[in-house]
Amino acid sequence: MLLVPSVVSMVWFAIFGGAAFQVQQEADKANTPGLVTMVNGTPSVNFDGALFDLIKNLSMPDWATTAVIVLDMVLVAIFFITGADAASIVMGSLSSNGAEHPRRGVVIFRGCLTGAVAAVMLLTGGDEPSEALAGLQRITIVAALPFVIVMMLLCFALTKDLRRDPLSLRRRLATSVVERGIRTGVEQHGGVQFDLVTKHDCAEKCPDSDCLGETSTGSIPTVETRHPDQALNSRER
């Protein structure tokens, strides 16, 4: 499933990128304005309307061009809505101590706050839409620096939580129990060979699966050291 977005993106860029190359090549041959214009020897591209310019140059009927443009606007709106919704949920989760399902009021507040910040950035960017978007991009880049520090702190917190993860603690505790059993066996039996037996201590109530020797449910095995003669006698019995 993880390959689906990548494959769809590759197909998308292959089709629309190839179409843009073809439109630009035909415009260069006919000496007509294409998607890219030269300004003082430097290529200039209207990124805000490049997709719409491409659709208009696909030599389709007017009704088809209008339909594709409307569909494109709907898809762009869905992209922004779903992206903003996901961002609001993530911010709501982070501000709710990592809750998987933050309260709806928190999510709505985060979404409204994000929209308000974007609106303020666009309004302060200038009268022209292109200048406003350029100003928004510059502000975003500047605001990303403190976020880098936040991300570093998040990485530190994640590493700290992983060290406290129950599975990791259980594994380290089991290893420590075995090491202590080996050390005890060496001290008790000296240089004589001994067997190391692991079993579950079922003196306390525990699930049946634990008593059968399974550790997947979280029980920690106990370790016993036996002399080979004792181990042989226990097997014969």
Domain coverage including residue 176: 167-236
Q: How many domains does the chain have?
A: 2
Residue 218: predicted pLDDT = 45
- Residue 215 and residue 175 in contact, taking contact as beta carbons nearer than 8 Å: no
Buried b (16+ CB within 10 A) or exposed e, 39-52: eeeeeeeeeeeebe
pLDDT along the chain (237 residues), means of 10: 84 88 84 75 74 84 90 90 89 84 89 84 67 73 83 89 80 78 74 66 48 44 56 50
162-185 pLDDT per residue, tens: 888 887 777 777 777 777 777 777
Asked if residue 221 and residue 131 are part of one domain, the reply reads: no
Residue 1: predicted pLDDT = 64
Asked if residue 47 and residue 69 are part of one domain, the reply reads: yes
Q: What is the pTM of this model?
A: 0.52
Buried b (16+ CB within 10 A) or exposed e, 6-15: eeeeeeeeee
| Domain end call among 163, 193, 221 | 163
